[in-house]
Amino acid sequence: MRWTPFLISATLVLLPPSSAQSQTAASAHFRIQTTSSADLKFLPRAFKALEKARKDLIALKLNPPGRVTVIVHPTLEHFQKTLDAPQYEAARANRKRSQIDTQRFVALEEHGGLEQTLRHELFHLAQPEGWPRWKAEGSAVRFSGERLTASPISGISEEKLEKLLGNPPSRDLLARAMATAARWVAEDHP
């Protein structure tokens, strides 16, 4: 059995791998599991982003889970198959499991969004129950600091926006729906 060492805030954490190929690192509040050695170099940044986001959520009087597992899927295909996700989805939060599933950290970084993606998904784990999807997505976008370039959709009903956010037919429509949700949150939409 191989042990994976990882240094976090001057504390050495040694964890056995979850499977023969996976490597796991942990901090007080987060556990990250990956099967790619290329993703290991992003672990310090990922832990730093997650811990800062956790602190920021608490400052906003939100309640993030005490322990979150981040699963970094080995391939896009594995991510899609496991989550039944479209190719353009980068990550997904699972509130029941206190878990964030992501595409490879390398892929997130190539698109300039490692920290933003982790902040966005952690927000979903801490958001109040019962929020409409548009409010959850718009608030997560604002919290993560994502810079959206798509044009918001004018004159869309709340019902149609909810459907688009729940099952977007394309990357472009998802981007426009997210921009709309972020605008609605900024405008304190009723």
CATH of residue 75: 3.40.30.160
Provide the number of structural domains found in the chain.
2
Buried b (16+ CB within 10 A) or exposed e, 158-181: eeebbebbeebeeeeebbbbbbbb
Percent above pLDDT 70 for the chain = 89
If asked whether residues 116 and 147 sit together in one domain, one would say no
Question: What range does the domain containing 46 cover?
Answer: 1-126
Same domain, 33 and 119: yes
Cβ atoms within 10 Å, residue 104: 21
The secondary structure element, H or E, covering residue 168 is none
pLDDT band of 104, cuts 50, 70, 90: very high
Task: Decide: 120 and 140 in contact? Cβ < 8 Å.
Answer: yes
Task: Find tokens 């940044």 and name the residue.
Answer: 45
Same domain, 61 and 155: no
Q: Tell me: do 96 and 179 sit in the same domain.
A: no
- Residue 8: is its pLDDT beyond 90? no
**How confident is the model over 66-93, as a mean pLDDT?**
94
- Residue in 116, 138, 125 with CA at minimum distance from that of residue 49: 116
Give 108-135 pLDDT, tens digit per residue. Answer: 998 879 999 999 999 999 999 999 999 9
Last residue in a domain, options 126, 155, 174: 126
121 and 151 in a common domain: no
Question: Would the pLDDT of 146 be above 60?
Answer: yes
20-37: pLDDT as tens digits: 478 999 999 999 999 988
Look at residues 81, 105, 126 and tell me which one is the last residue of a structural domain.
Answer: 126
pTM confidence score:
0.87
103 and 177 both lie in a single domain:
no
